[in-house]
A and B are shown apart, each in its own frame.
Chain A
Amino acid sequence: MELLTAVSVGLLFAIGVFQMLRRNVIRSVIGLMILANAVNLFLLSTGAYDGVAAAYTTSSGARSDALPQALILTAIVISMGGTAFVLAMLYIISARYHTADLDEVNGLKN
């Protein structure tokens, strides 16, 4: 299980970074989202194997750690807001520059 999590986090990181470096703006945003999920999975793995029972319940067994779950919840909400904002900016940029190629969005260079 640990190996599986480690491999999947690593794979998600690799895919995310690769997509982020693409020139197509849409692809790079998708890369960003994948990267966000990779980070969330990494955070989950910090407390995932401590126990099987939910925290703050009456069920018996080893308790799982509630803190990483709370952290991920916060991180998901923030990255959702961030993604929505990035997409809104992308919409404006694609309308203004008539392109989805990041190399052509270079108004600041000139």
Chain B
Amino acid sequence: MNYLALLPVLVPLTGAMVGLLLRKQRPLQAYWSLGTMLTALAGGLWLLLTVWQSGQPLVYNSGNWAAPFGIVLVGDMLSAIFVVTTQLVMVMGLIYALGSKDKVVTYPTFFPLFLTLATGLSGALMTGDLFNMYVFAELLVISGTVLTAVSDDRYGTEAAYKYFYISLLASFFMLLAVGSFYIAYGTLNMADLAARVAADGGRPLLLPGIAFLMATFMVKSAVFPFHFWQPDFHTAAPTAVSAMLSSVVVKLGIYGFLRMTTLLFVDQAPLIRAVLLVLGVVGVIFGGLSALGTHNVKRMLAYSTLAQVGFILVGIGWGTPLSIAAAIVFAFNHSLIKAAMLMLAGYIASRASVKSAAFEVVTGVGRPLPAAGFLFFVGSLALAGIPPTNGFVSKALLFNSGIAAARTWSLLLIGVTSIFTLMYTVRAFQRIWWLAPAEGITTKPAGDQLVAPALLLGLIVALGVWAEPLVAAATAASAALGDPSIYIRAVLGG
């Protein structure tokens, strides 16, 4: 019994409930939420350090029912790293929301919903039970959709409707996968399922179940053929929320793919990896080209997420221990970078005459704002993978692992197309900070605050200069993933 694995779920959930009671005292509610999230982050870091030192996953049996009968929460290296990423970015999102001028942050349920978003995501990352993952993913989806539906953007409801529709379909896929695995193997506990699949990989409904589960995670991560809802949804969401959605929420699918290929379906992994590799390369090319063709900064960054998720999928697709470590580092770094960039885009939109990040509105708006320009420039470097930022570290690791695995074609394709990143970010930078504003376009004297993106970019540069701890953690996680019996033994005992 280990309560440390329960903290990342319990703390934000409790915070959200107390936050609802505090709805009449808005400042108190806001700081309470920030405090809760900071506590959760501390808990997450503690969990990560504990797991790292002991090398053993921490398991919490809810209701004292032993696995595989009860629902377990499992904190291994992979879960812990993703949970810490989530909580770190969520803390920054709350800081941004505190300094935001949006009307949506004044709604009484904004901060509680933000915390339930964190609960859903941490829960889905920590749980060791497939059906429980579905429940947490639903919590995540509903919180995110509500936050977008009430956005200041007048198309928020339309985008939320689109997304909710697609994610309900994803939930049906997940339920079908759950049903298929239950018929075939009679268990929903991930460790137990992994052991049974490894013992007998020939049951009739296994492959359809894998396909359903992959479709679910593809929708969650907006992987290429299921990406169409993502740019709309991430553009229309309030800035603080879209910075979460486009950075950490899309990582749920990444986590799912990592679990599928290294724990659940080790024997079927080559098939899954082949699909992911192709989809990843297509995503990198398609996302880069689409980002070049957009007329809105937020939309450009949403398409860029498509491309960056593609890089991570390629890392998972190569499937060597080195490239899985690179994918984990890439996922962490991309979360920080994309959150910072979207916050900067939102900051610019808040200073524009009309609250929008469209190029025709924000062209030249950045001229009186050199500080934001500097931050955006550093963020662009990080997104494109240029030193001294952590983006360079992740890309260097990924390309190195590709060279080591001798995957020439995919490496060449993603290497060449990563030029697009530089092209679209520099184009946005030019438009906002260099070009003269059009007739009648002025910069508002006040807007959102720059604290959160500045903190994030500080972290980005710090992790670019001193990447050792992150890389070491990811390597340890990748090594632990290489041996699924560690996870299975920790959950099932024996």
Contacts and interface: CB of A to CB of B under 8 A. Distances in A.
B168 A67 contact: no
Given A78-B135, A82-B142, A107-B154, A46 B183 contact: yes
A85 to B, nearest CB: 7
Nearest to A89: B161
Contacts of A74: 131, 135
Interface string B217-240: 000000000000000100110000
B396 interface: no
A67 B164 CA distance: 27
Contact of A89 (B160, B235, B236): B160
Contacts, number: 76
A73 B135 CA distance: 12
A2 to B, nearest CB: 12
B274 interface: no
Interface stretch (B24-32, B173-181, B369-377): B173-181
Given A43-B178, A46-B179, A82-B164, A107 B172 contact: no
Interface in B105-154: 131, 135, 138, 142, 145-146, 149, 154
Interface residues on B, range: 20 to 34
B157 A92 contact: yes
Given A42-B176, A108-B236, A86 B161 contact: yes
B159 to A, nearest CB: 6
Contacts of B159: 108
Contact of A93 (B161, B179, B183): B161
Contacts of A36: 168, 172
Interface string B178-207: 110011000010000000000000000000
Contacts of B160: 89
A11 to B, nearest CB: 16
A96 B157 CA distance: 10
A15 interface: no
A89 B178 contact: no
A82 B138 contact: yes
Interface string A65-99: 00110010011001101100110011011001000
A82 B168 contact: yes
A49 to B, nearest CB: 11
A45 to B, nearest CB: 8
Contacts of A92: 149, 157
Given A96-B157, A105-B158, A89 B182 contact: no
A39 B182 contact: no
Nearest to A74: B135
A39 B168 contact: no
A42 B205 CA distance: 13
A10 to B, nearest CB: 13
B142 A85 contact: yes
B165 interface: yes
B142 A89 contact: no
Name the prevailing secondary structure of the B interface residues.
Answer: helix
A92 B146 CA distance: 13
A107 B188 CA distance: 42
B255 interface: no
Nearest to B141: A82
Contacts of A71: 131, 175, 178, 182
Nearest to B183: A46
A108 B161 contact: no
Contact of A32 (B165, B183, B236): B165
Which of B131, B159, B175, B183 has the largest number of chain A CB atoms within 10 A? Answer: B175
Nearest to B187: A67
B149 A89 contact: yes
B161 A67 contact: no
A108 B158 contact: yes
A92 B155 CA distance: 11
Contacts of B171: 78-79, 82
Given A46-B183, A89-B160, A75 B175 contact: yes
Contact of A86 (B135, B138, B165, B175): B165
Most buried by A among B154, B155, B179, B235: B179
A42 B178 CA distance: 10
A89 B176 contact: no
A73 B430 CA distance: 55
28 contacts: A32-B165, A32-B168, A35-B169, A36-B168, A36-B172, A39-B179, A42-B175, A42-B179, A43-B178, A47-B182, A67-B188, A71-B131, A75-B175, A82-B142, A82-B171, A85-B146, A86-B164, A86-B165, A89-B161, A89-B164, A93-B157, A93-B158, A93-B161, A105-B158, A107-B155, A108-B158, A108-B232, A108-B235
10 nearest CB pairs, A to B: A107-B155, A108-B232, A89-B161, A46-B183, A43-B179, A39-B175, A46-B182, A46-B179, A39-B172, A78-B138
Given A108-B158, A108-B236, 7 more contacts: A46-B182, A71-B131, A74-B131, A82-B138, A82-B171, A89-B160, A108-B232
